[in-house]
Structure 1
């Protein structure tokens, strides 16, 4: 088995490296198989301030608390899993992005790795703790995490209360473990209480535990619901189908222990991971050619919709009502007429306020008057006495500008 951290080329093209509830279910299966009912004869740990320290635990406390105790069972809620010990505290774990649990002599991988050369390396690289059983066969389990995003806690309470304390109490119900809680009515109340894209609601662990990226896409694809549709706009038939699809996809992925070779051929999962790779599938389950964003295109096709991010939004004019006949309300002609009418009314108001009866008597701008005055002075002829006009002349009824020039002040 390849070591975690040696490169993603060891993984099958369709493997999602983010933890999912079906992958955790697989690990719980192996823990029950190898540790349930056995006493921990030896517990070895390595100090890690991220994996242990960021959740208030330590490698020393973990080792001291578990050594010599009996493992009664292994359980999970969504992406969390824990060991029920003969007495508190109980170890609660989360894999983060790249954590995993290896068992000596058994293959816990949920994909088909490349064949490893030579004997199995033990202890494995990047191990954080190793549990060794006292009874025969002396099983050994190792928690590994090369990216150190995983978390290991100790929960000091009765085993029956683990889900009633933090952090599990802050998470929503598990659609598989809590099938009797996640009913159509429960789902209806949940989706109608929020106004967010439905996929965002499903991925939020505070709402529902365990649903990850591809699982969310798969159940929405099966339900024929666009992932960006707002949750509070879902109709009752859509909610009923979403509930059915959720239980179908989640339960089947858990029952198969995340073995993708056992997933139905019509699932989107079978078509999303090989895009762009040689000899990969080039069509979706409905026969449509894989182009662009597989997730958006597949869901769109199932939903009969095209309002994804690649679709151009119609211009404002196309959303407006058809243009009316000339003169009707809302038509371009009517708008032009209104503007002309307003301009005429404004001109009439200005004439009335200045006391002029004709629009030509309205006072012209000072700059224009200055140009006209200078031109008239140049063309001014001498009077009958041979003298030029003094420029005063008779009052034409036109008011002089009252603007005060700033020059010479």
Structure 2
């Protein structure tokens, strides 16, 4: 799923391809999910942008947008399988996809295709097979884009908002919550841009366990985690999500084998790789590195929660409530184990959930 680094890659290419140019045509295909759930329509999108000049391309976390010469401005989120293609630019074809992915134009599952009117014509397409992406229009001044919904409800970006995302701010955020730390990182209302693989990389680099509750870490561990967030996010963004350039020691290089035949279950040094469900998401963990030093959620999905001796005091934790995982279906596309985290929310501690409602509530439908 595209995260902070992949979105940085998209924005980098949009700056090279569209900024400073006028959109001659904007062809669209209506989609009640991609456009409709964001309060827009394909026809409105096309009408609003055709003939406009693109002044800037920017991002915050997993959201990115184009600044036009007059409102409205398009704001986009890639969801699970969304991507931006530039006709003839092979650097935007993801390495994990077949070599002929960009053979047809527009690409399969396209939602819009923009064409510039310059002599050196550029064509940019937005595609999404599983339809979790969101495309909307923001009718505001360019300077107010980040103060507009949904961006204003999202937390600071650890790469571009270093004036806000300080060590002190992060420590206060951590101790103010009582949720598994991985769930806190994935909640975009706390920090923008961290998704599943980035979250796992951060936890591995910090040598901390993703199940441990956020307010049970000491100052040393919090500083370590903050530095890991800054390091992993900045490095991934600087490399524009090009995994071939990621450091050899990163967990990213070894984490994709779950459920695959003959896949590696260990790091090159022999350390075992395991998978847990934390905050409703699959987490890749190296137990010999990521030690439990405080209260944690269930070690195994549906198992008993435990408290590690020597950790900070915390309220007793009861047996967690089992929840069914909702997997969206789409025709002609392979299944994905991870759901979209555009709307990831922190889960209350199991004991609190059990007291608050009986029987357990169902997971609300995605917006």
TM-score, scaled relative to structure 2: 0.75
277, 288, 312: which one aligns with 1:301 = 288
Alignment pair present for 1:261 and 2:244? yes
1:50, distance to aligned residue in structure 2 (A): 1.5
Bigger CA radius of gyration:
1
| 1:298-336 CA-partner distances (Å, limit 9, x unpaired) | 443113449761599799xxx9xxxxxxxxxxxxxxxxx
Are positions 1:88 and 2:67 aligned together?
no
1:152 counterpart SS class: strand
Partner in structure 1 of residue 11 of structure 2: 28
Matched position secondary structure for 1:30: helix
- Note the C-alpha offset of 1:292: 6.4
For residues 32-47 of structure 1, the aligned pairs below 5 Å read 32-47=15-30
1:110 aligns with 2:94: yes
Q: Which has the higher helix share?
A: 1
| Secondary structure class of the residue paired with 1:301 | coil
CA distance in 2, matches of 1:84, 1:23: 20
- Which residues of 2 match residues 274-289 of structure 1 at below 5 A? 274-275=257-258, 277=260, 280-284=263-267, 286-289=269-272
**Residues 231, 110 of structure 1: CA spacing in aligned structure 2 closer, same or farther, 3 A cutoff?**
same
SS at match of 1:272: coil
- Tell me by how many angstroms 1:51 deviates: 1.2
**Structure 1 position 278, deviation (Å):** 5.5
Is 2:155 aligned against 1:172? yes
Count of paired positions: 299
Distance 1:296 1:112 in 2: 20
Secondary structure at 1:199's aligned position in 2? helix
8 Å Cα contact 1:21/1:79 also seen in 2: yes
Q: Let me know the Cα RMSD of the aligned residues.
A: 2.6
Aligned to 1:201: 184
Summarize deviations over 1:58-77 as a string: whole Å, max 9, x none: 11111111111110111011
| Alignment gaps of 5+ in structure 2 | 310-367
Question: Which position in structure 1 is the counterpart of 2:348?
Answer: none
| Secondary structure in structure 1 of the residue aligned to 2:57 | strand
User: In the TM superposition, what is the alpha-carbon distance from 1:219 to its structure 2 partner?
Assistant: 0.5
* CA deviation map 1:30-70 (0-9, x unaligned): 10111011011111111222211112111111111111111
Distance in 2 separating the partners of 1:104 and 1:127: 13
Answer yes or no: is 1:67 the counterpart of 2:54: no
Moved over 6 A (4+): 294-297, 311-315
Distance 1:137 1:36 in 2: 13
Higher RCO (CA-CA < 8 Å; seq separation 6+): 2
Shift of the 121–237 alpha-carbon distance from structure 1 to 2, 3 Å rule, reads same
CA distance in 2, matches of 1:292, 1:156: 43
Q: Secondary structure at 2:56's aligned position in 1? A: strand
CA contact (8 A) 1:92 1:155 kept: yes
The corresponding residue for 1:363 is none
